[in-house]
Amino acid sequence: MRKVNEMLFVVILAVIFLGVFVFFTLTPEPVVLPPAPETLELTSIITGQPEAILADNLQLDEDSQSGSYGCFQTDMSLPMLTETYQLYEAANPATPTDPMACYDSAEIVADLNADKALAFLSRAGIGDGLDRVIVIYGDGRGFVWTQPNEQE
């Protein structure tokens, strides 16, 4: 009887150990979204490094499910921006789960397609497979968001 109890104890201990091992190795890690930027940056064509840009009236909203979104104004001209900073061809502004009054992703997409605005790389690889993107209009309106990059 004692041998049976010892075997049962070893089996139960092995099952518990296996359960803990499986839990910690097979449980997917939660996606950690990067925090909203405190200052806005665009990536330089020359250095490949993000540089701070002029931004006024910055309104940011951190959405725990879809990242950070924001609106701002800038006095920087589009010709100067295109000569200095990297354009972002794959801009795809998703709709935040908590809409912002100043941020309309459908309008941004339509305006990008109609060449009314330009998308720039703010910062590449800010999180696991994420880039920060900034769109700027000729009148100085700007929008910022995070999106999956194409390296996935």
* Contact (CB, 8 A) for 72 and 142: yes
Contact 47, 37 (CB under 8 A): no
pLDDT at 99: 77
pTM greater than the 0.85 cutoff: no
Tell me what pLDDT residue 14 has: 75
The 10s digit of each residue's pLDDT in 10-69 is 778 777 877 676 666 766 665 555 555 678 999 999 999 999 999 999 888 866 455 678
Q: What are the pLDDT digits (tens) for 70-109?
A: 899 999 999 999 999 999 999 999 777 777 889 999 999 9
Measured from the Cβ of residue 22, the count of other Cβ atoms closer than 10 Å reads 10
User: Could you give the 3-state DSSP secondary structure of residue 102?
Assistant: coil
Question: Which residue type, as a one-letter code, is found at position 139?
Answer: D
Name residues whose C-beta falls within 8 Å of residue 2's C-beta, 6 or more positions apart in sequence: none
The letter for the amino acid at 72 is F
Helix (H) or strand (E) holding 152: none
